[in-house]
Structure 1
């Protein structure tokens, strides 16, 4: 049970969004948002050399190269620097999954699984309870067995005592 709770906490923590600054994926690009100041300078670091980008907005749209948005982006706004390290696969029809949605999907899956287990248990109980309450045998114990010519009883007076007497 503790592993399950730990797994839910990890999933919830993994999908929580950053409130002050953040990254939003839309289509084949990532939109980086800096602090609340109106202007910001954006830099992209490649091979340990910062390259100044032309945009001076609070947001920067990083385009994908080969379906992957990657790199170290830095936002300088006043005296604060915010670093964004990205390495994400993006696609045109991708959608983000919020923490509430992920928790809801996991919880509904657990409820559905518990429902199936309960139905199987109830059906199994009905089948086992019927086997214990069978109808009594209709034939009385003293009634003679029906005759069967293939399996007639041996008459001790006519039985031969030879070893291979029955194989002729």
Structure 2
């Protein structure tokens, strides 16, 4: 009985293992008799032993204070833990080196593609024949061309005649 009371002063950490939706708690105390469990000061029926296995753990329903205890005579020795865990069905645990490797590889691939596109476009430009800027080449002449008169305005964009103004006057109320 004195060993149980001596252990009460010494706080050892719980072992908590999370895998998928399952949380396993291991009582840190070495009790002589049978170990019982409480959640938020309510006895958990059917849970005895050093390990407590909580399947289908829910952060909302199962978070709270957990206590492993043993009753010896009229004395109770207990050890308490506050547990709030997020679990998920299809989670995958990744360590820091894996994350760093993924980021470095991603940056290298992106830079490689960038250089590939740059050199491909550079070599394509060098192979292309020089284009002359003329009316047929899609370029417009710079300045005034002395050999040709200015182009005729497109009839689709000619100004509205006086007789047709009232027909289009209500479409847009800007000054005419």
TM-score (norm 2): 0.44
Which structure's relative contact order is higher, taking Cα pairs within 8 Å and 6+ residues apart?
A: 1
